[in-house]
Amino acid sequence: MLHLLDPTRHDLEAWLAERGERGFRARQVRQWLLHRRACSFAEMTDLPKSLREALEQEFAVWTTKIVRHSRSDDGTEKLLLELADGGRIECVLLRDGQRRTICISSQVGCAMGCVFCASGLDGVDRNLTAGEIVEQMLRLQQLVEPELRLSHIVVMGMGEPLANLDRLLPALEVASSEEGLGISARRITISTVGLPPAIRRLTDRGVHYNLAVSLHAPDDELRSRLVPVNQNIGLAPILEEADRYFEASGRRLTFEYVLLAGINDQEAHARQLVKLLRGRTALLNVIPYNPVAGLPYATPSAAASRRFRSILEEGGLNVQFRERKGDKIDAACGQLRRSTPTAAVSP
Ligand code: SAH
């Protein structure tokens, strides 16, 4: 069955026209879903019953099932969703004051193979459709207090978003447009391992989302060990395209750096990072490693993190050390999926 959000509003209008229905119904249906948090056609009470029935025959409002819903004390909630074909993805709602940030997935699994990450341990199964990407937003919106709205989106869940740009961009268009979720592009962040041709496409499209590049190492030798796709890419072309994106969009770049004890957390790495990034309008987001069962990586000690941080700050970099949220519910990408046996699916 087709996902109600896979056709664009234009496609839906054409579908309605074929049935002699007026075009404004498309807008009405989408408003029910996107603004009024409807979960079924039955709730769309200002549509004629015959139309609701016809829609129901053709389209599904939800194509996913919630397999697991976990909440942690800090207000973080995580959903493990099962897709129509049995694939599983994760998405997260983070609460911070009035902020309601969601973290969504772009693929089932991941092909990038970052050695410390749970998402790519079994490779990639497939790209998510635009509808499946939007559905994560709506599932999480359902969890938000009625008086609040989703305020920020980070595409930092499972998968490499720039490897699925053709479906991600229409989904983010729904998120950012006024008739969609109305989340301004400046509150939407795409996190990438760094695929230069895809960054170039973003630049050329003129879309102004925030770009976060997962760096994790200050030189190609170490980066290729941690992020294997780097072997065929290299830092220089990634930084070049990121800089072009900054120039075109004016959006401050973010570089992410997962600190792995004894691997990329030495003072020499911090000094190299300063050299690499100095002079850029950028934020270096240092993320403490969230240990993954079965992988031989660990979070550095507080003292090692402090040392690392002070070298970066003395070097004049704009740094942020992210605190851990949602650890207890396996909220780092790909972890919930791995810790939930398939048999746990409820019908
Ligand atoms: N593929 C994209 C987005 C997905 S992951 C990318 O590489 O950016 C979002 C961020 O979380 C990436 O920086 C990723 O390297 C990091 N990450 C993955 N596993 C992690 C873990 N166990 N602990 C902390 N950060 C992790």
**CB distance 292 to ligand 1 below 6 Å:** yes
CATH of the domain at 213: 3.20.20.70
Q: Which residue has the tokens 């170039």?
A: 200
Q: Which amino acid is at 262?
A: G
Tally of structural domains, the chain? 2
**CB distance 330 to ligand 1 below 6 Å:** no
Q: Tens of pLDDT along 27-48? A: 899 899 999 999 999 999 999 9
Across 89-124, b (16+ Cβ under 10 Å) vs e yields bbbbbbbeeeebbbbbbbbbbbebbbbbbbbbbeeb
Range of the domain at 39: 2-60
Q: In terms of domains, do 76 and 29 share one? A: no
Report the pLDDT value the prediction gives residue 326, as an integer from 0 to 100: 61
Q: How many CA atoms within 13 Å lie on the side-chain side of 206?
A: 0
Considering the entire predicted model, what is its pTM? 0.93
Q: Tens of pLDDT along 309-319? A: 999 999 999 99
Q: Tens of pLDDT along 233-270? A: 999 999 999 999 999 999 999 999 999 999 999 999 99
- pLDDT for 229 beyond 60: yes
Residue 333 CA to ligand 1 center (angstroms) comes to 7
CATH of the domain at 20: 1.10.150.530
Q: Tens of pLDDT along 63-121? A: 999 999 999 999 999 999 999 999 999 999 999 999 999 999 999 999 999 999 999 89
**CA-to-CA distance for 167 and 240, rounded, in angstroms?**
25
Contacts 24+ apart (CB under 8 A), 28-35: 29/4, 29/55, 30/5, 30/179, 30/180, 31/179, 33/4, 33/5, 33/61, 33/138, 34/138, 34/174, 34/179, 34/180, 34/181
Kindly indicate the confidence band of residue 335, based on its pLDDT and cuts at 50, 70 and 90: low
Residue 57 CA to ligand 1 center (angstroms) comes to 39
Mean pLDDT check: name the lowest of 152-161, 277-286, 334-343: 334-343
**CA-to-CA distance for 7 and 14, rounded, in angstroms?**
10
Q: In terms of domains, do 208 and 309 share one? A: yes
Structure tokens at 164: 């699925």
**CB distance 191 to ligand 1 below 6 Å:** yes
Between 2 and 345, residue with greater pLDDT: 2
**Active-site residues: which are they?**
90, 333
Q: In terms of domains, do 74 and 23 share one? A: no
Whose C-alpha lies nearest to ligand 1, atom 9?
Answer: 156
**Among the three residues 12, 38, 60, which one is the final residue of a domain in this structure?**
60
Q: In terms of domains, do 154 and 54 share one? A: no
Instruction: Judge whether 117 and 110 are in contact, CB under 8 Å.
Output: yes
- pLDDT for 340 beyond 80: no
Report the pLDDT value the prediction gives residue 23, as an integer from 0 to 100: 86
Residue 38 CA to ligand 1 center (angstroms) comes to 32
**CA-to-CA distance for 329 and 261, rounded, in angstroms?**
22
Q: In terms of domains, do 157 and 298 share one? A: yes
**CA-to-CA distance for 4 and 149, rounded, in angstroms?**
22
Residue 119: closest CA among 270, 333, 346: 333
Kindly indicate the confidence band of residue 330, based on its pLDDT and cuts at 50, 70 and 90: low
**CA-to-CA distance for 257 and 300, rounded, in angstroms?**
13
